[in-house]
Amino acid sequence: MKEIKVGIIGATGYGGIELIRLLSNHPHFQIHAVYSSSQDGMEISEVYPHLANILYTLKKIEPKEMAKELDIIFTATPSGVSSQLVPQLLKEGIKVVDLSGDFRLKTEELYEKWYKKPSASIEDLEKSVYGLSEWFADEVKESTFIANPGCYPTATLLGLAPLAQKKLIQPNSIIVDAKSGISGAGRGLSPIVHYAEINENLKIYKINQHPHIPEIESILARWDDQIGHISFSPHLIPMSRGIMSTMYVQLNKEFSAEEIHQLYVNCYEDAPFVRVRKLGEFPSTKEVSGSNYCDINVTVDERTNRVTIVAVIDNLVKGAAGQAIQNGNIMMGYDQQTGLNVLPIYP
């Protein structure tokens, strides 16, 4: 059985160590080397003692060397870093799954408006495929460069896709009230995620200003170009992991809760990582923790003909490292579930 040699760039962030955790049980992907621009030369176990028995020395990023040794690279680098780095890797002919936001938007203007940073070039933007593989697996399969979806967009798009794709949504009617555990903010120090400040606290931030908004809107527009703008409010929840996206949508036709629920069941019957829950049973974030599942349910308020959709994921798995491996599996011709078939950790 061929062994796929994997590199992880940005191995010392939360996305990076989650890749290490998940890949350590992958039957075909073998971590060949881990890279860090800021901490090269250190052992990974010095940075993260929970990896005490893992022997990886963090290496410098050298694209030419990597090309010789690696089959695929996961770049878990911050926005603004990937846009510089990934084109060099692509030039060397390595397959790349990029976990940053740098290649998810398809025009330079849109990127620079929302990220307030210089964009990658339009040529490079166009090379990437958006890796929401439940909907774009065919493109992923053919691609060598995946822009891995953001954490909020993953839950939100999986939640909205069945309605958007059937063109059932009234223009400009989508409201996304998104909630994330604190690991979503990364490992960088900040007063906002200082324990004593965010513990026992609930914080709303970047209302209608989060860079995941254009990502969601542009993918929705691929399914329904009349769908318009969304209102999007992210909140920080005092827990380490988990995202819940609570979505409110005005339908353009009348449906019962049963009909809409059935639509979702049908849409996702072949998607092993999407669990549409039983009618009336709504998912909690802990019910997918540590796993690659996205659990979803819907209901209709007959008084207002408004749909409420709830989608939950583990932000570091389905919202980052897990989905990246799922994309890597598809790119490499493996079953998408390979190495990802673990149950949620509960309680």
In angstroms, what is the minimal distance from the CB of 335 to a copy of itself? Answer: 16
Structure token pair of residue 145:
């460069």
Rounded distance, CA 303 to CA 326, Å? Answer: 40
Single-letter code of the amino acid located at 191: P
Q: How far is the CB of 232 from a copy of itself (least distance, A)?
A: 9
- Site string (160-179) toward a copy of itself, x via CB under 8 A: ------------x--x-x-x
Q: Which of 103, 264, 268, 282 binds a copy of itself (CB under 8 A)?
A: 282
Number of chain positions touching a copy of itself (CB under 8 A) = 83
As measured in angstroms, the least distance from the Cβ of 98 to a copy of itself is 22
Q: Does 17 bind a copy of itself (CB under 8 A)?
A: yes
CB 167 → a copy of itself: shortest distance, Å? 19
Indicate whether 237 belongs to the interface with a copy of itself (CB under 8 A): yes
345 binding a copy of itself? (CB under 8 A): yes
Considering only residues 120-159, where is the footprint of a copy of itself by CB under 8 A?
none
What does the DSSP assignment read for 105-161?
Answer: SSSHHHHHHHH-SPPPPHHHHHH-EE--HHHHHHHHHH-SEEEPPPHHHHHHHHHHH
- Binding residue (CB under 8 A) for a copy of itself from 28, 59, 106, 306: 306
Nearer to a copy of itself, 19 or 146 (CB): 19
**Which is closer to a copy of itself, CB of 125 or CB of 237?**
237
What CA–CA distances, in Å, run from 137 to 90, 132, 312? 21, 7, 21
- Find, among 92, 6, 89, 58, the residue nearest to 327 by Cα: 6
Yes or no: say if 130 and 104 are a contact pair by the CB < 8 Å rule: yes
Instruction: Pick the stretch among 98-106, 116-124, 158-166, 198-206 that binds a copy of itself (CB under 8 A).
Output: 198-206
Residues 6+ apart with CB under 8 A from 194: none
Radius of gyration of the chain (CA): 20
Q: In whole angstroms, how close is the CB of 237 to a copy of itself at the nearest point?
A: 5
